[in-house]
Amino acid sequence: MSGRIHCWAAVVCFVLASWCGGAQEDKDSAEAEKKPTIYVGAGVVVKTKPYADTDAKVYPIPLFAYEGKRFYLQGSQGGYRLFSYKGFAVGPILRPRFDGYEQDDSPILHGMEDRHWSVDGGLGVQALTGVGLFSVSFVTDLLGRHRGQELEFGYTVLFKAVGFDFIPTAGLRYESENLVDYYYGVRANETRPGRPFYEPDAATDPFLRLAVRRKLSDHWSLLGAAQYEWLTAEITDSPLVDRNYEISVMAGALYAW
């Protein structure tokens, strides 16, 4: 499985986090505040990949979220709120990075060493304010594979119209030199005609995402989301890459209790 699959996971995480955060604000009693919220469901993702001669792929995905007073699990990301006060929360986070490729994924990758997925861990900060949800996360490679770091800023709002919940997000993602080089660089022993040596620097990519929820009953909801990420020159200049964007589209159903 190649491409930056954590993008669609981030969409699911932000959607569920926003709903749970909003739900907790509406709770009227201490007893309700202690009660965890759980979402389960299933969906499908269609995702493009930036590597040359690769087509969009379709992935079935489980959807799950658990929101307790301290511990939470949102999609593929988990964390613990060490400190939480009036919409502000900070604590450690852990999430897999489903990036990478195998050399038979595309002709341009033949002769490349496989690039593997990893697990990233670090710190997450969220501030839920009257004008939206501000978030910052910093993670680093815990398995020693890409040996890089990622810093992400996001701003999310939630508004309701014609029976739907709309949750747009604008963000910026910084990826360190080691991370970009591992997934998009070409090592000296991997060069060939048409695939020269390439050692990129760090990259900063902006992205937009929109999630939409339609509540069918007290428990059931339909969910859709789309994300567009602009890839900067450090990635697009790679001889492995033939496009300057990534797109993810997701649809699914959720049950809450």
- β-pairing, 118-129 with 159-161? unpaired
Look at residues 8, 77, 95 and name the one whose alpha carbon lies nearest to residue 49. 8
Which pLDDT tens digits describe the chain residue by residue (257 residues)?
333 444 444 455 545 554 454 444 444 444 445 578 888 888 888 888 899 998 888 888 888 888 888 898 877 788 999 999 988 999 999 998 888 889 999 999 999 999 999 999 999 999 989 998 999 999 999 999 999 999 999 999 988 999 998 999 999 999 999 999 999 999 999 999 999 999 999 999 999 999 898 999 989 999 899 999 999 999 999 999 999 999 989 899 989 88
Q: How high is the pLDDT of residue 15?
A: 54
Decide if domain 6-256 falls under CATH 1.10.3470: no
Tell me the pLDDT tens digit for each residue of 186-223.
999 999 999 999 999 999 999 999 989 899 998 999 98
Look at residues 56, 58, 181, 55 and name the one whose alpha carbon lies nearest to residue 113. 181
- β-pairing, 37-47 with 245-256? antiparallel
Sketch the domain layout of the chain as residue ranges: 6-256
Q: How high is the pLDDT of residue 2?
A: 36
User: Quick one: residue 144, left, alpha or beta (phi over 0 = left, psi -120 to 50 = alpha)?
Assistant: left
User: Quick one: residue 53, left, alpha or beta (phi over 0 = left, psi -120 to 50 = alpha)?
Assistant: left
Residues 6+ apart with CB under 8 A from 248: 7, 8, 11, 45, 46, 47, 48, 225, 226, 227
Q: Check: CB of residue 65 under 8 Å from CB of residue 74.
A: yes
Task: Name the pTM for this structure.
Answer: 0.85
Tell me the pLDDT tens digit for each residue of 127-140.
989 998 999 999 99
